[in-house]
């Protein structure tokens, strides 16, 4: 019979306590993995990039069932529960964790492909800046998170570029 090896498991954390839970798990000798990505956030007319969990309220932990007391994870500060299948923790396939780690940059941040928000020709509304409340047609994205929009100004189509957070579906 093959001895058990450490496996990855999912931990559900308390709200906004992913980092705290990961730190307390590490203090107990568990290897915790909290995948994060950079999210653009607009607040008070400022746009900033903040590091946020890829899976809010969840992180991964390795547990050697033969050598470690896995039930101590349940009472760790910041942890709500260990995700279980019945009475036993539900393991995560190693390839899932490997795929996540492949997407990390050298800084440990997950790189996400930006999803297209609009289809070409779709009508959009500008919500900010000089063209606020104007309707236009989505024309694509530039390489710097700017949106190209065709506006009907003075009887002709004019292409303007605005911040992607300044555009919503009409």
pTM equals 0.69
| Domain CATH code at residue 144 | 2.30.30.30
In a domain, 115, yes or no: no
| Spatial distance between the Cα atoms of 79 and 63, rounded to a whole number of angstroms | 15
Q: How many domains does one find in the chain?
A: 2
- Shared domain for 34 and 85, answered yes or no, is yes
> 47-61 pLDDT, tens per residue?
788 899 999 999 999
In a domain, 116, yes or no: no
- Shared domain for 50 and 98, answered yes or no, is yes
Please count the other Cβ atoms lying within 10 Å of the Cβ belonging to residue 112.
11
Q: Which residue has the tokens 């779709």?
A: 122
- Shared domain for 17 and 99, answered yes or no, is yes
In a domain, 2, yes or no: no
In a domain, 117, yes or no: no
- Shared domain for 135 and 99, answered yes or no, is no
Q: What's the Cα-to-Cα distance from 99 to each of 40, 90, 110, rounded to whole Å?
A: 23, 19, 11
Q: 35: closest CA among 16, 15, 60?
A: 60
- Shared domain for 139 and 93, answered yes or no, is no
> 15-47 pLDDT, tens per residue?
999 999 999 999 999 999 999 998 877 777 777
> 68-110 pLDDT, tens per residue?
888 889 999 999 999 999 988 999 999 999 999 999 999 999 9
Domain with 40 in it: 7-110
Length of the chain: 170
Contact 122, 137 (CB under 8 A): yes
- Shared domain for 26 and 50, answered yes or no, is yes
- Shared domain for 13 and 65, answered yes or no, is yes
């Amino acid at each position: 019979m093959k001895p058990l090896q450490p496996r990855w498991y999912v931990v559900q954390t308390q709200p906004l306590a992913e980092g705290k839970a990961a730190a307390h798990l590490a203090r107990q000798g568990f290897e915790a993995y909290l995948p994060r990505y950079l999210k653009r956030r607009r607040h008070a007319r400022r746009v900033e990039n903040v590091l946020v969990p890829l899976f809010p309220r969840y992180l991964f932990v390795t547990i050697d069932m033969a050598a470690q007391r896995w039930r101590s994870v349940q009472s760790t500060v910041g942890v709500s529960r260990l995700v279980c299948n019945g009475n036993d923790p539900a393991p995560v396939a190693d390839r899932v964790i490997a795929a996540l780690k492949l997407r990390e940059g050298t800084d440990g941040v997950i790189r996400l492909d930006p999803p297209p928000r609009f289809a070409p020709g779709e009508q959009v509304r500008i919500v900010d800046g000089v063209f606020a409340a104007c309707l236009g047609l989505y024309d694509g994205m530039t390489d710097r998170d700017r949106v190209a929009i065709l506006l009907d100004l003075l009887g002709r189509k004019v292409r303007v570029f605005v911040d992607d957070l300044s555009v919503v579906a009409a």
